[in-house]
């Protein structure tokens, strides 16, 4: 995995195992967690992209080997708290959307399977090449999606459609992903980088504090009633107006 920056407010994270279709491992997840925690406070946009013909083909097959100390098959031999604590650490690598002050974009081409699908789901915005394919393959392997993807998928497409996608482990192509709300945009493969650059430029042109307040409202809306959401909007607007007037929050 490599890191880059298109400017002090924009960070680019690249999955860089193209020869392995950017398959994932605890080493990659730990590095994603490290990078996430090390983001400078100036960063307001994070782009997660991948080299090669696939975004990520999911779990490295070596994780299913009983000989791998970091593998899936090592977990049942650990005490419950240790095993689930290890998974909790991995889950942090997939949470790119919870910070209101940062907007995350997944740039997806080719396969995004299992952990690849869940990494894309963990971003605020998904821009897909027209050859992209999502698949939640874990149930077919006898395990469950455990990297934060179940709730994020349900929030996006509803329980019924999420159930069908996960329990059949079928592939969702780019056109369907756009139709059901999994993708923000779908473009030709050759236009993917340019489409991301346009989105980044549009995001960067918006006032950062207004964007953070708006993102917080959108994320909080799922768990609120309409009246509660409107109250949250009023409070957020009051904070913004006071800030624009140069007044401290406690004045």
Mean pLDDT confidence for 221-250: 93
Mean pLDDT confidence for 186-190: 98
Instruction: Give the pLDDT band of residue 3 (cuts 50, 70, 90).
Output: low
Percent of the chain with pLDDT over 90: 86
Instruction: Give the pLDDT band of residue 67 (cuts 50, 70, 90).
Output: low
For residue 4, give Cα distances in angstroms to 12, 25, 85, 236: 5, 21, 30, 33
pTM: predicted TM-score of the whole model, two decimal places: 0.93
Distance (Å, whole) CA 6 – CA 43 = 10
Mean pLDDT confidence for 193-199: 98
Tokens at 1, concatenated = 């995995």
Query: Considering only 8-12, 63-67, 76-80, 167-171, which range has the smallest mean pLDDT?
Result: 63-67
Output the pLDDT for position 71: 66
Output the pLDDT for position 215: 97
Q: State pLDDT tens for residues 137-148.
A: 999 999 999 999
Q: Which residue has the higher pLDDT, 159 or 251?
A: 159
Output the pLDDT for position 68: 63
Mean pLDDT confidence for 174-199: 98
Q: Residue 134: is its pLDDT beyond 90?
A: yes
Please, what is the Cα angle at 40 between 250 and 85, to 5 degrees?
Answer: 95
Query: Considering only 4-8, 110-114, 189-193, which range has the smallest mean pLDDT?
Result: 4-8
Query: Considering only 14-23, 63-72, 195-204, 235-244, which range has the smallest mean pLDDT?
Result: 63-72
Output the pLDDT for position 6: 44
């Amino acid at each position: 995995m490599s890191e880059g920056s298109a400017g002090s407010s924009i960070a680019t994270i690249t999955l860089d195992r193209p020869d392995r279709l950017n398959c994932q491992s605890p080493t990659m997840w730990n590095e994603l967690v490290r990078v996430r925690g090390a983001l400078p406070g100036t960063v307001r946009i994070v782009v997660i992209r991948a080299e090669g013909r696939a975004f990520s083909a999911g779990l490295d097959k070596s994780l299913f080997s009983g000989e791998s100390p970091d593998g899936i098959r090592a977990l049942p031999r650990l005490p419950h708290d240790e095993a689930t604590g290890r998974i909790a650490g991995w889950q942090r690598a997939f949470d790119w959307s919870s910070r209101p002050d940062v907007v995350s974009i997944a740039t997806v081409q080719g396969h995004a399977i299992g952990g690849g699908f869940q990494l894309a789901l963990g971003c605020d915005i998904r821009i897909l090449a027209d050859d992209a394919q999502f698949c939640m393959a874990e149930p077919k392997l006898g395990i469950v999606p455990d990297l934060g993807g179940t709730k994020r998928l349900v929030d996006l497409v509803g329980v019924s459609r999420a159930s069908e996608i996960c329990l059949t482990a079928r592939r969702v192509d780019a056109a369907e992903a756009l139709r059901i709300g999994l993708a923000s945009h779908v473009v030709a493969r050759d236009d993917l980088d340019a489409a991301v650059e346009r989105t980044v430029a549009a995001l960067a042109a918006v006032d950062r504090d207004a964007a953070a307040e708006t993102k917080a409202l959108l994320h909080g809306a799922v768990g609120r009633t309409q009246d509660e959401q409107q109250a949250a909007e009023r409070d957020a607007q009051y904070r913004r107006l006071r800030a624009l007037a140069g007044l401290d929050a406690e004045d």
